Amino acid sequence: MFSKDMFKKGILKKENLGEGLFKKDINVYRRYAWAGASFSAAMSIAFLMQQSEASYAGQVLVRDTVVINPDDVIKASLPAGQMDGLQGVETLSTLPSLPQELSHQSTLPTQPVILLVSRDIPVGVLPQEEASPLLNCDATLTAEPVAAAMVDLTLSAPCLSGERVTIHHGGLKFTEVLGLDGTLNVSVPALAEHAMFVVAFTNGDGAVARADVSSLPFYDRVAVQWMGETGLQLHALEYGASYGEDGHVWQGTPRDLTAVAAGEGGFITRLGNQDAPEPLMVEVYTFPTATAREGGQISISLEAEVSSVNCGRDISATSLELQGEADARVQDLTLAMPDCDAKGEFLVLKNLFEDLTIARK
């Protein structure tokens, strides 16, 4: 290397070395400076583009948004002239743009780059909100008369889904349970031409509906009601039929309202939900007296099977008879059941109801 003393002593002179050596050294330093600046610019732009792609992919939690416009990016350009000479460079105060390569050309984005920056610690999954209680959901009841002097009841109480409800009609009552959607559909034998139905919930809510059943005088009805598991059953023996024959109508062979369409016979309707708490149950036997095709006698009895549930105790029931235009006849009953040694046997009350007499046409 050449020292300052060598120049001072005249050993070396600037003109002897030539200006080319000094220019070459200066150009080398300038190239290092440009390379460092170019590398810094490339790393900055690559970082911005990587953050932009991650934000669009939705991989960063959104809290605050920082917008970077192209005008805010430091701009620089290569000077004119030869790449190796870098003549005309007057300042290094601005960063250069990326150099163009033969195999690849990089350009700055023309649209604003959006960075999504999270300044909060992720909090995890938020709890789900509890469902708000329904408002203005009073119980509604509709009554629609249908064939065989039956009435279709439709009860809606959205706020009381799964609740126990008691239905009152004509001196009888039975319990049902609303579905999960808060509705109930049930067909009830009418016991009055101007029939009124009342539903009552355990919380005191309720509803009322009415229906005109003009066809009721064409039918005779016998009903019995009780509470809990009593083993009580209505049995009708039509036209002298014996147990197990076609004319034996009971819960085991109840028929349905289609049996009365041609006047062939009667049917049994069972009302109430045995699984409800303290269930009130009802059975009704209906016979088309005015349209029957055949005359004769219908014998009706009330029976109770002795079981481990009802043996050795008294059971209570209420019976109701509705024949022709006469007023309904209601009786309160108390049955003393045999001891448990008689399990499997039947207690039969044959004279409780009057036989139905069907006139020949």
pLDDT for 8 equals 46
Asked if residue 82 has pLDDT above 50, the reply is no
Please tell me whether residues 234 and 321 are part of one structural domain.
yes
Q: Which residue matches tokens 């235009």?
A: 325
Among 53-67, 251-265, 309-323, name the one with the lowest average pLDDT. 53-67
Please tell me whether residues 234 and 326 are part of one structural domain.
yes
pLDDT for 350 equals 81
Tens of pLDDT, residue by residue over 179-222, are 999 999 999 999 999 999 999 999 888 999 999 999 999 999 99
pLDDT for 173 equals 95
Tens of pLDDT, residue by residue over 276-305, are 888 999 999 999 999 898 889 999 999 999
Please tell me whether residues 353 and 227 are part of one structural domain.
yes
User: Is residue 123 included in any domain, yes or no?
Assistant: no
Which residue segment(s) compose the domain that 285 sits in?
219-361
Domain boundary among 72, 90, 117: 117
pLDDT for 107 equals 55
Question: Using H for helix, E for strand and C for coil, what is the string for 67-106?
Answer: EECHHHCCCCCCCCCCCCCCCCCCCCCCCCCCCCCCCCCC
Write the CB contacts of 227 (distance below 8 Å, at least 6 apart in sequence): 278, 279, 280, 281, 316
Element (H, E) at 118: none
d(CA 2, CA 7): 8
User: Is residue 127 included in any domain, yes or no?
Assistant: no
User: Is residue 62 included in any domain, yes or no?
Assistant: yes
Please tell me whether residues 227 and 361 are part of one structural domain.
yes
Please tell me whether residues 167 and 201 are part of one structural domain.
yes
Domain boundary among 84, 117, 150: 117
Q: Provide the residue type at 5 as one letter.
A: D
Please tell me whether residues 342 and 244 are part of one structural domain.
yes
User: Is residue 248 included in any domain, yes or no?
Assistant: yes
Please tell me whether residues 187 and 264 are part of one structural domain.
no
Please tell me whether residues 231 and 347 are part of one structural domain.
yes
User: Is residue 142 included in any domain, yes or no?
Assistant: yes
User: Is residue 2 included in any domain, yes or no?
Assistant: no
Report which of residues 99 and 328 the model is more confident about.
328
Residue 301, token pair as written in the block: 């009895």
User: Is residue 3 included in any domain, yes or no?
Assistant: no
Tens of pLDDT, residue by residue over 134-171, are 455 689 999 999 999 999 999 999 989 899 999 999 99
Please tell me whether residues 70 and 180 are part of one structural domain.
no
